[in-house]
Structure 1
Amino acid sequence: MADWIRRTMLAAAAALFAAAALPVSVAGAQSPLKVVATTGMIADAARQVGGDLVEVRALMGPGVDPHAYRQTRTDILALTRADLVLWHGLYLEAQMEDFMHSLEARRPVVAVAEELPRDVLLAHDDYENRYDPHVWMVPDLWSKVVVRVRDALIDARPEGEALFRANAESHLKDVAALSDYAKEVLATVPQESRVLVTAHDAFNYFGRAYDFEVLGIQGISTQSEAGLNRVAELVDTLVKRKIGAVFVESSVSDRNMRALIEGAAAKGQQVAVGGQLFSDAMGRDGSYEGTYIGMIDHNVTTITRALGGKAPERGMLGRLAVGS
């Protein structure tokens, strides 16, 4: 075989081998960055910022409680094969924390809320030196998490930096508009009606930001036990203060809330369910409420209207499902 033919064949084989080792698509472009996120809120931020350069999988879907979630075998496979793993931190995924720390030795793993300034965080009710993880309830706080997601994507795929920054800037404008809407409509709720009674204390940041008193049957974690004394105490509060509406949550059983309503009724105080709120998980996949913007729009609009304030029935963008 002539030398030039041998050299040509060897060069072609080397090129094919090198191409096979690269993460390329059929079209020849670099394959999307494989991102695994624990919660839907983090996954949404990664999709908004990453655009076509990422392929995002959320471990926890609608109605899933992250406080109690344990990784499955399928999850472990996805996590160990991911190019980037994004989790919340602040002890939200308490059952997964040890696994995430062990995974850091093998994969880029980022706890996107852990670097929030401690002076903006609220202390955890049940665990010393821990913080309330529910920062997504306030868009101004969540915007800081979006920036951390952006930076994690840039670190994982530097060549996508320009796109990631542009997408993040666009999404942050939407988050800022959501913040403005929340402040505007929640301000219309009468001061005496600003009492938010929910299944667990997921709304403390919300209460601080918008001047609402928040009363949860359970603590910050849904793993906290709701004792009979706590239910009885809240029944007395509903009756004494004539609170007429309470809220159930999409990711928490309504069993304790039903007991609360029945207890108040037995004492002559009729209490209605003001609506279902998205606390630790977003709405149905593919729906507006299944995005971060839609989730918070739903919560803000539902709370405002149920407690006597003024907000459009279909929310900030007119996209909320009627009766959602």
Structure 2
Amino acid sequence: MLRAAMTGAIAAAIAVALAGCGAAPSNSGEGEGPVRVTTTIGQITDIVTNIGGERVEVAGIMPSGVDPHLYKATQGDIAKFEDADIVFYNGLHLEGKMTEVFEEMAEHKPTIAVGESIDPASLIEVANADGTQVYDPHIWFDVKLWMQAAETVQRELAKLDPDNAGTYEANAKAYLAELEALDAYARERIATIPEGQRVLVTAHDAFGYFGKAYDIEVRGLQGISTASEAGSKDVTDLRDFLVERKIKAVFVETSVSNRSITAVIEGAKKLGHDLKEGGTLYSDAMGEEGTPEGTYVGMVRHNVDTIVNALQ
């Protein structure tokens, strides 16, 4: 279940650290050095890196392969938060274990939830594990929505560092043009999958925005958070759906265990349906730094190509 809780010791330590640094001088706008930015998921780190350019020094706390739903802040993260002039995170309960940390930080420095700057009318409402309605936090899977997140980063950096607002604007213009091309690429490639086979099945329900944006049906074994586990009925129901629809492939994710997906594949084979593992997708975490998949554009292109190659 998505929760705002985290370990008391870490929360208290961050509160003490932040209380002591609230009046610390900022480098922004004074020519003394780059703006110090701390981010959570790699997708946000990528936005800040592209828009901030040489004017920012970015410290991301979540490396490749990390599940943000379950992530707990470390002592090293405390130092990164303390040193930052501004913090960007996704919000919408993606970083569920860290909500209290961000609420505390917001009292001392700009702490921006890029997902919560998006018009709620564009967000997808889903049922939480406890039955409450929440917004799906995986907004980066709709490139158009992620462009809005990039615009939020641009505005906030310009607000903090107005002397370099022109630089942020120019960098954002170039980055947004790249994202426009990425959105068109995804739309065109997914449309080549035969309509009856246009079904994306993954371990957890992270691809709702992707499905809505690019016209592909999406099924996940788990809910929007990996904090809830798939049960035997979930496995059976999904197996029966795949057999009935004669879907060719299902996909694993880099940040989620493939145990349940493997059970679905084995169950389908027992019923005489040859279901294969279509490949590995990047969902809540990007690839290793220095690889194409370690960038947002590279991650999305990899996912699109993997899906199309398996389902065509």
Q: Return the TM-score normalized by structure 1.
A: 0.85
| Matching residue within 198, 204, 209 for 2:208 | 204
Q: Using the aligned pairs only, state the percent identity.
A: 45
Query: Quick one: which amino acid aligns to residue 277 of structure 1?
Result: L
| Structure 2 Cα separation of the partners of residues 303 and 143 of structure 1 | 22
Query: Is 2:306 the counterpart of 1:302?
Result: yes
**SS of 1:130 mapped into structure 2:** strand
Equivalent in the alignment of 1:44: 46
Q: How far apart are the structure 2 equivalents of 1:267 and 1:282?
A: 35
Q: Which residue of 2 aligns with 1:64?
A: 66
**Which residue of 2 is the match for residue 4 of structure 1?**
none
Distance 1:171 1:162 in 2: 14
What letter corresponds to residue 303 of structure 1 in structure 2?
I
| 1:13 paired residue number | none
Could you tell me how far apart the structure 1 residues matched to 2:70 and 2:226 are? 8
Aligned ranges 1:132-151 → 2 under 5 Å: 132-151=136-155
Deviation at 1:30, TM superposition (A): 2.3
1:234 alignment partner in structure 2: 238
Give the counterpart of 1:109 among 108, 111, 116: 111
Q: What is the CA–CA distance in structure 2 between the aligned matches of 1:110 and 1:129, rounded to whole Å?
A: 23
Q: Which residue of 2 aligns with 1:73?
A: 75
The answer to whether the 8 Å contact 1:70/1:95 transfers is yes
Contact 2:190 2:216 in 1 (8 A): no
Deviation at 1:215, TM superposition (A): 0.8
Unpaired stretches in structure 2, ≥5 consecutive residues: 1-24
Structure 2 residue aligned with 1:192: 196
Displacement after TM superposition at 1:22 (Å): 7.9
Counterpart for residue 124 of structure 1 = 126
Task: Indicate conservation of the 8 Å contact 1:67/1:223, yes or no.
Answer: yes
- 2:172 is matched with which residue: 168, 171, 191? 168
Instruction: Report the number of matched residues.
Output: 285
Helix, strand or coil for the counterpart of 2:71?
Answer: coil
Structure with the larger RCO, 1 or 2 (CA within 8 Å, 6+ apart): 2
Report SS of the residue matched to 2:239: helix
**Mapped contact 1:80–1:107 kept (Cα < 8 A):** no
Question: What is the match of residue 18 of structure 1?
Answer: none
Give how far 1:243 is off. 1.3
Q: For residues 122 and 98 of structure 1, do their structure 2 counterparts lie closer, same or farther at Cα, with a shift above 3 Å needed?
A: same
Give the corresponding residue for 1:154. Answer: 158
- Give the superposed CA RMSD: 1.5
Per the TM alignment, residue 23 of structure 1 is displaced from its structure 2 partner at its CA by 4.4
Q: Which among 275, 290, 295 is matched to residue 291 of structure 1? A: 295
Q: Give secondary structure in 1 for the equivalent of 2:170.
A: helix
8 A Cα contact 2:248 2:310, kept in partner: no
| Counterpart secondary structure, 2:251 | strand
Query: Counterpart in 2 of 1:182?
Result: 186
Deviating more after overlay: 174-183 vs 28-37: 28-37
Contact 2:201/2:250, CA 8 A, preserved across alignment? yes
Q: What is the DSSP-based 3-state SS (H/G/I as helix, E as strand, rest coil) of the residue aligned with 1:124?
A: strand
Q: Which residue matches 1:222?
A: 226
Distance 1:102 1:40 in 2: 22
Normalising by structure 2, what TM-score?
A: 0.89
Shift of 1:103: 1.1
